[in-house]
Amino acid sequence: MLKIYENITRIIKKKGLTRKEFAQNLINLRPNVNRVSETPTLSTIYGYLNGRINIPIDLIPYIADVLNITEQELFDTSSKSRKRCFKYFLENASNDELEQFNNFINSQIQNNININYGKVIMNSKNRDDKIEKFVELLDYAPNHFIDRVIAKLEEYKKLDKIEF
């Protein structure tokens, strides 16, 4: 498991930020660390990112805010942890938050409904015809394509069986 400073560095890179941009954005929030009651300096933030200085707990919400992630994501990104976090969200979200989440999920489904290679449209009226045609054309597909389609279908199957 990654240490928190390693995970923060990974997320900074993933978000396309430089360490300097991250540090400046954090400073701009003017977080007050309780131990010293002042905003951390650029060199202190670099010390956090290098693992030389322990990150104060009261700085965590500010770091999450700068990275536009939940505080939980700074600590544990395992599937089990994400499922617990998701379950907590569903059990405690307001109606407005649930509606916003529902809108997001629906837009993701609309954007991702086609399988990249096969263009098989899910839940269509001609689904059986399309499946039959897809199976017929598989004879012409290279093995690496079939492997990718199988992997993608396995992902869809797992999404259907998420347990909390």
On the question of pLDDT at 121 being above 80, the answer is no
Which CATH number fits the domain 4-74, given the four candidates 1.10.760.10, 3.30.420.40, 3.20.20.70, 1.10.260.40?
1.10.260.40
The pLDDT tens digits for 36-45 are 678 899 999 9
Q: Residue 122: which pLDDT band, with cuts at 50, 70 and 90?
A: very low
Q: Can you tell me which residue has the tokens 């617990």? A: 84
Q: What is the mean pLDDT of residues 125-150?
A: 80
> Domain locations in the chain?
4-74, 78-112, 113-164
Q: Can you tell me which residue has the tokens 């560095």? A: 9
Within 8 A by CB and 6+ apart from 68, the residues are: 15
Average pLDDT, the chain: 81
pLDDT (0 to 100) of residue 8: 94
Which candidate, 76, 67, 73, places its Cα nearest to that of 19? 67
Beta-strand runs (E) in the chain: none
Q: Between 34 and 66, name the one with better pLDDT.
A: 66
The pLDDT tens digits for 16-29 are 999 999 999 999 99
Alpha carbon of 36 to those of 33, 39, 55, 144, 145: distances in Å?
6, 8, 13, 57, 58
Within 8 A by CB and 6+ apart from 124, the residues are: 130
Angle made by CA atoms 46, 35, 68, in degrees to the nearest 5: 50
- Give me the residues paired with residue 106 across strands: none
On the question of pLDDT at 93 being above 70, the answer is yes
On the question of pLDDT at 147 being above 50, the answer is yes
Q: Which structure tokens are listed for 98?
A: 């649930």
**Highest mean pLDDT range out of 45-54, 116-125, 131-140?**
45-54
CA distance 86 to 102: 13
CA distance 5 to 20: 15
pLDDT (0 to 100) of residue 162: 56
Q: Residue 86: which pLDDT band, with cuts at 50, 70 and 90?
A: confident
CA distance 11 to 67: 7
Q: What is the mean pLDDT of residues 79-101?
A: 82
Q: Residue 109: which pLDDT band, with cuts at 50, 70 and 90?
A: low
On the question of pLDDT at 2 being above 80, the answer is no
pLDDT (0 to 100) of residue 117: 37
- Check if the beta carbon of residue 70 is closer than 8 Å to that of residue 64: yes
